[in-house]
A and B are shown apart, each in its own frame.
Chain A
């Protein structure tokens, strides 16, 4: 079904891009990917992307951090070498907890933040020395690019429609692998 041909459509304004994405979707053209130099607010909803599950990961990482802090402080300050904290030698985790709360908080944030970054990199398939997947370097500066699946659409009407949505430039890419 797919011809393997892809159109690279460039825009130079994020508002025009948003409108174009909505119009493309209302005409049932398939958008493969959109490249932008900065996060465009609401673009994920306009593209119909499913809601991110990163927040759930973050919550779980935070709980892990909280548990690590609790177990660590309990081992260091209560079990392994019992401390007299603030002149109150209770040697109980619960009664000494005010002293541990800052550490519990910090490690919760630390785990949530760092593991989130790593998860985000893995999910976005980014790692050191990776070659950029970016189809056009201008999308790292001031241009916005929509990859549209050319499929079996008539290229003339499609490109006319795209120019009407405010595209500044359209190029047809013959994708050898899929052809």
Chain B
């Protein structure tokens, strides 16, 4: 399936990406002096206008102290904003954030591609558990995409484990010792339990992927419905497992980067990003395979349905994003609103640009029923949606870890290249192994005749 040209492209991507990542990790400042130099060269661009109203900040700090924030946590929180007073402790935080940047860049790209494979697995499980009649012709495509899950999820897990305090302030014992809020949360947010949870997620997801693929292939030679029934059963169990682990994964790997801040909608919001990116990639891979003549049994009604899901989940994502944003914006509680103040002040163009890319574009492009059947149209819409959701993950991670010291430079691009290469390689291998036309699925005939 994977032509030699595409394989070469993927390998070149990975090599270039790896070089860029190594460069990124080596070029971080290692001392406070170096960080100051970098900061000074940046300050020239910023100029004045950095004076935060101290009265307000003090009021917020007083309230926080009453609620048990440690002074250290408050200082760190302030450093996430652009409050440039150049004393030693502040510069240490700046140095820490600069050193975190390559970790964040790697994590954003690694998670972005992992969530595509994971979301595809969930979509596949939903289709089998719901006994959907339209989609079985696409099952091998979905299985091919989920081939990336094993390497992808292991790499993501390794990144969050080894990033440690770069990402997760609650892993810093000195900080927790002074902070009564983090002490209260330490029953959940402690390193051993957090590590065990991460391992459970990765093992659970990959076990389902393994058994689903096994039974799906067994169906080809089966004389009875046993593999089909097994697949159905595993899918139902997996969906129950996933709905819990996805929530805790979102808290563990993303929300705990800012351990004082929380949102009850957060896990769903991440899930919306996961599923819309996944459906988009399924559509793009389907169109590409059909273009080279490997999927002649897939018709434009299948594409139409995928495009409807892209449209629908884009609106769903917007709904959840806005549901979270509006309540926090409206209530304007200092504890909660810091999350958005940082993003609006330091990431303004991409923060609002993301809404246009992820909401306005899909709405306008995919609203017309006929356009959803035009393959190049769906691909263009899909690429826009994927860019938008990369930015979404970028905005989840970067502000919480590197604060204002972000950029999209060699390191970020290299990370994206590396994981894109790995993704193409693994998905290509997953698609190449077996016939793309499943056999003996009870809904296959209905799916082949699917017509809207």
A joins B in a complex: yes
**Chain A interface (Cβ < 8 Å from any Cβ of B):** 55, 59, 85-88, 98-99, 101-102
Interface contact A86-B329, CB-CB below 8 Å? yes
Interface contact A98-B325, CB-CB below 8 Å? yes
Interface contact B332-A99, CB-CB below 8 Å? no
**Chain B interface (Cβ < 8 Å from any Cβ of A):** 322, 325-326, 329-332, 367, 369
Q: How far is the CB of B378 from chain A (nearest CB, A)?
A: 19
Contact A101-B369, Cβ < 8 Å, known A86-B331, A86-B332 = no
Instruction: Give Cα distance in the complex from A88 to B332, angstroms.
Output: 9
Q: How far is the CB of B393 from chain A (nearest CB, A)?
A: 23
- A55 nearest in chain B by CB position: B369
Interface contact A86-B369, CB-CB below 8 Å? no
Interface contact B322-A99, CB-CB below 8 Å? no
Interface contact B330-A99, CB-CB below 8 Å? yes
Instruction: Give Cα distance in the complex from A101 to B332, angstroms.
Output: 17
7 residue pairs bridging A and B, Cβ less than 8 Å apart: A86-B329, A86-B330, A86-B331, A88-B332, A98-B330, A99-B330, A101-B322
Instruction: Give Cα distance in the complex from A87 to B330, angstroms.
Output: 8
- A41 nearest in chain B by CB position: B452
Instruction: Give Cα distance in the complex from A85 to B331, angstroms.
Output: 10
Instruction: Give Cα distance in the complex from A88 to B330, angstroms.
Output: 9
- A42 nearest in chain B by CB position: B451
Q: How far is the CB of A9 from chain B (nearest CB, A)?
A: 26
The residues of B that contact A87 with a CB separation of less than 8 Å are 332
Instruction: Give Cα distance in the complex from A86 to B337, angstroms.
Output: 12
Q: How far is the CB of B113 from chain A (nearest CB, A)?
A: 32
Interface contact A98-B329, CB-CB below 8 Å? yes
Q: How far is the CB of A37 from chain B (nearest CB, A)?
A: 23
Instruction: Give Cα distance in the complex from A98 to B331, angstroms.
Output: 12
Instruction: Give Cα distance in the complex from A59 to B369, angstroms.
Output: 13
Instruction: Give Cα distance in the complex from A101 to B329, angstroms.
Output: 13
The residues of A that contact B326 with a CB separation of less than 8 Å are 98-99, 101-102
Q: How far is the CB of A39 from chain B (nearest CB, A)?
A: 15
Q: How far is the CB of B138 from chain A (nearest CB, A)?
A: 22
Instruction: Give Cα distance in the complex from A85 to B322, angstroms.
Output: 17
- A88 nearest in chain B by CB position: B332
Q: How far is the CB of B447 from chain A (nearest CB, A)?
A: 18
The residues of B that contact A55 with a CB separation of less than 8 Å are 369
Give me 12 other A-B pairs in contact (C-beta within 8 A), A98-B326, A99-B330 excluded.
A55-B369, A85-B330, A86-B330, A86-B331, A88-B332, A98-B322, A98-B329, A98-B330, A99-B326, A101-B322, A101-B326, A102-B326
The residues of A that contact B332 with a CB separation of less than 8 Å are 86-88
The residues of B that contact A102 with a CB separation of less than 8 Å are 326
Q: How far is the CB of A53 from chain B (nearest CB, A)?
A: 13
The residues of A that contact B325 with a CB separation of less than 8 Å are 98
Instruction: Give Cα distance in the complex from A98 to B321, angstroms.
Output: 12
Q: How far is the CB of B125 from chain A (nearest CB, A)?
A: 29
Instruction: Give Cα distance in the complex from A101 to B319, angstroms.
Output: 11
The residues of A that contact B322 with a CB separation of less than 8 Å are 98, 101
- B330 nearest in chain A by CB position: A86
Instruction: Give Cα distance in the complex from A153 to B141, angstroms.
Output: 54
The residues of B that contact A88 with a CB separation of less than 8 Å are 332
Instruction: Give Cα distance in the complex from A88 to B333, angstroms.
Output: 12
For the complex of A and B, the 8 pairs showing the least CB-CB separation, nearest first, are A86-B330, A98-B326, A98-B329, A87-B332, A86-B332, A99-B330, A101-B322, A98-B325
The residues of B that contact A86 with a CB separation of less than 8 Å are 329-332
Q: How far is the CB of A89 from chain B (nearest CB, A)?
A: 12
Q: How far is the CB of A154 from chain B (nearest CB, A)?
A: 36
Q: How far is the CB of B365 from chain A (nearest CB, A)?
A: 14
Instruction: Give Cα distance in the complex from A105 to B329, angstroms.
Output: 18
Q: How far is the CB of A167 from chain B (nearest CB, A)?
A: 26
Instruction: Give Cα distance in the complex from A114 to B172, angstroms.
Output: 58
Instruction: Give Cα distance in the complex from A55 to B371, angstroms.
Output: 14
The residues of A that contact B367 with a CB separation of less than 8 Å are 59
Instruction: Give Cα distance in the complex from A98 to B322, angstroms.
Output: 8
Q: How far is the CB of A119 from chain B (nearest CB, A)?
A: 18
Q: How far is the CB of B430 from chain A (nearest CB, A)?
A: 36
Instruction: Give Cα distance in the complex from A99 to B330, angstroms.
Output: 7
Q: How far is the CB of A48 from chain B (nearest CB, A)?
A: 17
Instruction: Give Cα distance in the complex from A55 to B369, angstroms.
Output: 10
Instruction: Give Cα distance in the complex from A169 to B84, angstroms.
Output: 88
The residues of B that contact A59 with a CB separation of less than 8 Å are 367
Instruction: Give Cα distance in the complex from A59 to B367, angstroms.
Output: 10
Instruction: Give Cα distance in the complex from A98 to B325, angstroms.
Output: 8
